[in-house]
Amino acid sequence: MKNVKKLPTKQLEKFSTIFTQLGLVLVLFIVYLTLEHKTEKKSVMAKEFHQPETVYLNPDEVPVFKREPKKQPKIKVAQNSVFLEDEPVEKGDNEIIETLIDPEPTDVKQVELNEGDIIEVDIPETIIEDVPYDFVQNAPVFKGCEGLSKEENRICFDKKMKKFVQRNFDVGLANDLGLNSGKYRISTQFIIDDKGNVVDIKIRAPHAKLKLETKGLINKLPKFSPGIQNNRPVKVKYNLPISFIIE
């Protein structure tokens, strides 16, 4: 018998079918293992959250809420709360140099005048208005300070004025206004005219109601004996600062 030679290409074609079948079997095996594979279950612990407690109210029970009363600031009138501020007066060099001049001799002729030749001329007096209290010669007299010397009258005037303000000023008004703690000042200026009446009142205050209170206070002042300058009644300007402290 003759040996038949097999060509390599024909042998490869024969084995390719076998390789294909083996590949399909391998793929199916891998798919099977994948489907049958079991994974471990991992449990995750949930965090606990605080749940607010619910409060239930019966319909018949009406809750009553109490509001704590607001603490009102206490007002304290400062000691000597009414005071007079002395304005500094600058003193200049007022030295008077006296020089004596010898009069030159002149010829004086006597002239005789008849009564009909004399003409009377009225020279108006210089009127000083609004003299400051510190510079008036005789200060106005507060009721109850009569018959005192100039210095004693000024001391009595200041004491009476302070006492009048402390008795008549409504210190409780500051509490009602709800002002913050601290020191407060009311500046007051008025004129005591030549008849002793209080006029031309000017006030600066931290609140409009305090301004009205101060104006009413000044209007209650009694009538004064007017100040005197050059032996005649004059208008006197008076400054009255009022201060108080709220704690």
SS in 3 state form for 179-245?
CCCEEEEEEEEEEECCCCCEEEEEEECCCHHHHHHHHHHHHCCCCCECEEECCEEECEEEEEEEEEE
187-224 confidence digits (pLDDT tens): 999 999 999 999 999 999 999 999 999 999 999 999 99
Tokens of 123: 């020279």
Q: How far is CA 241 from the centre of its chain?
A: 18
Q: Tell me the domain boundaries of the chain.
A: 75-84+129-246
Give the residues across from 45 on adjacent strands.
none
What fold, for 75-84+129-246? Answer: 3.30.1150
Residue-wise pLDDT for 141-178, tens only, equals: 999 999 999 999 999 999 999 999 989 988 788 778 88
Q: Residue 245: is it exposed, middle or buried by C-beta count within 10 angstroms (0-12/13-18/19+)?
A: middle
Distance of CA 18 to the CA centre of its chain: 105
Beta carbons of 140 and 227 less than 8 angstroms apart:
yes
What confidence score (pLDDT) does residue 236 get? Answer: 96
φ/ψ of residue 185, rounded to 5: -135, 135
Euclidean distance between CA atoms 190 and 236, whole angstroms: 8
Contacts (Cβ under 8 Å, ≥6 apart) of 133: 139, 140, 227, 236, 237, 238, 239
Model pLDDT for residues 117-151, shown as the tens digit of each residue: 566 656 555 555 789 999 999 999 999 999 999 99
Percent of the chain with pLDDT strictly greater than 70 = 57
Render pLDDT for 76-99 as a digit per residue (tens, 0 to 9).
545 444 444 444 444 455 555 555
